[in-house]
Chain A
Amino acid sequence: MAPSQPQTSGAAELSALLARAATGDQAAFQQFYDRTAAKLFGIIVRILVERGDAEDVLQEVYVTVWRKAAEFDAARASPVTWVATIARNRAIDRLRARGSRPAAPIDDAMDVRDDSPGADILLEAAGEAARVQTALAALEPRHADAIRSCYFEGLTYEALAVREGVPVGTLKSWVRRGLLRMRADLA
């Protein structure tokens, strides 16, 4: 599958495809897959690293999306946010089942901050992404790094605390203070 999602396709079209998939329209579902799978696979690989696991989870995610398509509510989330959330949850579940993540130092989590062509092709609100990045960048660096590591790698507080050599309570406090400050900034 070529990652050829249109730049401005928008949430409305994807919502319409999901609505058709909810009635059993597999052609619509395939279009939805073609336009979102590369995005979700990127997210899943980021968390799981190992490709075979990531492919299994991607399959699991789209089977779930097919079965739950009727539950999608465009008033509550964009279609991409909805499926990305499902993908993150399934990937994290797989990661926990596996027990460990292939070693990936914190610097790798930083690498994904780099822009690459097509990185935010599916994002309806590029401005929102920029606001969140700005709010994250405004945090104390170690708070921001802890948040990124948790979010991008799916690590538990305990695992990240061990890796960073800080008490778990300290790490938890960095993350929570950081996220609350971001929320206040974005409000």
Chain B
Amino acid sequence: MTGPDDLAGMTPDDALAMDFALGVLPRAEHRAAELRLRSDPVFRAAVEAWQLQLSPLDAKTPALAPPAAVWQQIVAEIAPVRPVVAPAPAKPGLWNSLALWRSLALAGTAAAAIAIAQVGSPPPAPGAPPQLLVAALADADGKPLLSAAYDPLRGAVVLTPATQRDDVGKSPELWVIEGDKPPRSLGVIDIRGPNAHAISSKRLAGLAPGSVLAISIEPLGGSPTGQPTGPVVATGKLTPV
């Protein structure tokens, strides 16, 4: 074991590991060491040992709340990057909590956020590739609730929840609002796990830039009146990219 005052006993790699963990290296060396961590387990172990020794010093650094906008920007960046893996079904989670529903209902249609990307918004020319629509639906805080992709070749909308939910006794229903017309149902949807929903092309015909999509929570089986009766949990305008 190297004695505390025996610097000569330090290998160049141990010195580099120490310097990297301490954070004193110039940029190029810092980056080079970072790269080396990935391919050199011995070096990485040396760095991690120093990091473990030093990291308790962070306990004395006061926490500082970042502005809320930072989280919104993180969501904006991560949402389209990685598809959601199917969550375990029927496990009561955040989605199921009354508080969440209440806050979403309070947030109302104006505050709920939805981002819709439409590729090739005008009707496609004959022989042109069919339009693909994708959407990321987030709540008022920017937390994604689900993503949707419309595949015209299959005539299906694929819905992928971003969080677990359990709708015992309730049915989420998807609506489109075109101009001043009343909401038009696109049908009851299942958002417990990734699902393809066949929606007739006649129903989807109205989807155009400027149309508003909405999801409401309805009694089992869907709205009894043909119009939304439960809380609207997300709305947003279709916009072409």
Is B57 at the interface (CB under 8 A from chain A)? yes
Interface residues of B in 41-78 (CB under 8 A from A): 48, 50-71, 73-75, 77-78
Chain A 9-28 against B: per-residue CB contact (8 Å), 1 yes, 0 no?
Answer: 00000000000000111110
Contact residue among B1, B3, B66 (Cβ-Cβ distance under 8 Å from A38): B66
The CA-CA distance from A81 to B58 in the complex, in Å, is 9
Q: Is the CB of B71 within 8 A of A30?
A: yes
Interface residues of B in 1-58 (CB under 8 A from A): 1-7, 10, 15, 18-19, 22-27, 30-31, 34, 48, 50-58
Q: Is the CB of A180 within 8 A of B57?
A: no
Is B132 at the interface (CB under 8 A from chain A)? no
Most chain A CB neighbours (cut-off 10 Å) among B64, B67, B164: B64
B71: chain A residues within 8 A (beta carbon): 1, 30, 33, 37
* Interface residues on chain B, number (Cβ under 8 Å): 63
Most chain A CB neighbours (cut-off 10 Å) among B51, B67, B70: B70
Contact residue among B62, B63, B79 (Cβ-Cβ distance under 8 Å from A26): B79
Q: Is the CB of B63 within 8 A of A126?
A: no
A128: chain B residues within 8 A (beta carbon): 56
Determine how close the nearest CB of chain B comes to the CB of A139; give it in whole angstroms: 10
Interface residues of A in 141-157 (CB under 8 A from B): 147-148, 150-152, 154-157
Determine how close the nearest CB of chain A comes to the CB of B157; give it in whole angstroms: 19
Is B82 at the interface (CB under 8 A from chain A)? yes
Q: Is the CB of B64 within 8 A of A96?
A: no
Q: Is the CB of B56 within 8 A of A30?
A: no
The CA-CA distance from A184 to B139 in the complex, in Å, is 52
Most chain B CB neighbours (cut-off 10 Å) among A23, A67, A155, A180: A180
Chain A residue with Cβ nearest B164: A27
**Given known A-B contacts A119-B61, A151-B22, A176 and B15 have beta carbons under 8 A apart:** yes
Interface residues of A in 33-54 (CB under 8 A from B): 33, 37-39, 41-43, 45-47, 54
Q: Is the CB of A96 within 8 A of B27?
A: yes
The CA-CA distance from A84 to B65 in the complex, in Å, is 15
Chain A 147-175 against B: per-residue CB contact (8 Å), 1 yes, 0 no?
Answer: 11011101111101000000000000101
The CA-CA distance from A187 to B15 in the complex, in Å, is 18
Determine how close the nearest CB of chain B comes to the CB of A114; give it in whole angstroms: 8
The CA-CA distance from A121 to B15 in the complex, in Å, is 32
Q: Is the CB of B56 within 8 A of A3?
A: no
Chain B residue with Cβ nearest A33: B71
B62: chain A residues within 8 A (beta carbon): 42, 112, 116, 118-119
Is A103 at the interface (CB under 8 A from chain B)? no
Most chain A CB neighbours (cut-off 10 Å) among B18, B48, B54: B54
Q: Is the CB of B143 within 8 A of A27?
A: yes
Determine how close the nearest CB of chain B comes to the CB of A159; give it in whole angstroms: 9
The CA-CA distance from A116 to B59 in the complex, in Å, is 10
Contact residue among A23, A88, A184 (Cβ-Cβ distance under 8 Å from B3): A184
Q: Is the CB of B66 within 8 A of A55?
A: yes
Contact residue among A66, A93, A129 (Cβ-Cβ distance under 8 Å from B78): A66
Q: Is the CB of B143 within 8 A of A30?
A: yes
A81: chain B residues within 8 A (beta carbon): 51-52, 55
Question: What are 8 contact pairs spanning A and B, CB under 8 A?
Answer: A26-B75, A26-B162, A93-B31, A113-B60, A150-B23, A150-B24, A180-B7, A187-B1
